[in-house]
Amino acid sequence: MVVCKTGITMLKARGKKVLRISTGSITLTNLTTFEKYSHVKKMREEYGKLDKVEMSIWECCELLNDVVDESDPDLDEPQIEHLLQTAEAIRKDYPNEDWLHLTALVHDLGKVLLHPSFGELPQWAVVGDTYPVGCAFDESIVHHKYFKQNPDYNNPAYSTKYGVYAEGCGLNNVMMSWGHDDYMYLVAKENGTTLPSAALFVIRYHSFYALHRSGAYKHLMNGEDFENLKWLQIFNKYDLYSKSKDRIDVEKVKPYYLSLIEKYFPSKLRW
Ligand SMILES: [Fe+2]
Ligand SMILES: [Fe+2]
């Protein structure tokens, strides 16, 4: 095992080299105290340039196997297993919604932000629950008490119910805390995916538990958001409970997913 000075541990797991970023317990407080409006703006600008890597969706699935998400209870499982288990479980129950199968395959690809080619962002800036910034933090957000240390908490511009937003403005106009969700949304959108808006919504808000579990922030949603939320709630059941069930024969299902990638994405994407 080699530990380098940035805190990255290289270890062997399942015969593969895996990157583990040792932020440990500080992840949680950093997530709630550092994810302020200005930080999110900066990250969106930097990563929205999409000038880090050029690769296909499938190449990214393979790259993701080298990254460990410490918030994931199934650390032993390669990420591609989780992606394919989620996708295959949805495919079984919703055989005609091929866009949702592909959405499941790509939903966590933004976790490549943990990889050195993407600047090795710390865990708190990539995984964990997401929430709007620029308005009051809802009490249903996990570990809400830590927000008192967030500079936005005491900023009158950002601490009211609506903050910088207007009623029913649509989530598309609301800035979310930075993480793998928003990044993958940007990648898909900017590379011209033909996936429907429900797919982009699922990708972008799948860690927004205050919304899809607690029903918060409805005052910022518009009609399209309410429609798309139905799909997010369906998706979320599979995202959480597909893990560690049937093992997936990757080579067997790969041709099907390659055909979906070809249908909805360009062959190479800018990341
Ligand atoms: Fe995720
Ligand atoms: Fe996931």
> How far does residue 107's CA lie from ligand 1's centre (Å)?
6
pLDDT digits (tens, 9 = 90+) for 214-228: 999 999 999 999 999
Q: Where are the beta strands (DSSP E) in the chain?
A: 2-3, 8-13, 16-21, 54-55, 269-270
Q: Where are the beta strands (DSSP E) in 75-149?
A: none
> How far does residue 208's CA lie from ligand 1's centre (Å)?
10
What pLDDT is stored for residue 71 in this prediction? 74
Average pLDDT over residues 96-120: 95
> How far does residue 128's CA lie from ligand 1's centre (Å)?
8
Alpha helical stretches, state H, 125-249: 180-190, 197-205, 209-212, 223-241
Nearest ligand to the CA atom of 180: 1
Average pLDDT over residues 109-138: 93
Q: What is the DSSP string of 170-204?
A: -GGGSPBPPSHHHHHHHHHHHTT----HHHHHHHH
The distance from CA 29 to its chain's CA centroid, rounded to whole angstroms, is: 19
Nearest ligand to the CA atom of 239: 2
Would you give the DSSP letter of residue 161? S
Average pLDDT over residues 159-178: 97
What pLDDT is stored for residue 30 in this prediction? 66
> How far does residue 173's CA lie from ligand 2's centre (Å)?
24
> How far does residue 79's CA lie from ligand 2's centre (Å)?
9
Greatest Cα-to-Cα distance within the chain, rounded to the nearest angstrom: 55
Say what the pTM is. 0.87
What pLDDT is stored for residue 84 in this prediction? 94
pLDDT digits (tens, 9 = 90+) for 39-89: 999 999 999 999 999 999 999 999 998 887 777 766 667 888 889 999 999
Q: How far apart are CA 84 and CA 253, in angstroms?
A: 8
**What are the sequence ranges of the domains in the chain?**
2-265
> How far does residue 160's CA lie from ligand 2's centre (Å)?
31
Which residues are documented as binding site? Answer: 82, 107-108, 180, 206, 239
> How far does residue 156's CA lie from ligand 1's centre (Å)?
31
Which residues are documented as binding site for Fe cation? Answer: 82, 107-108, 180, 206, 239
Nearest ligand to the CA atom of 203: 1
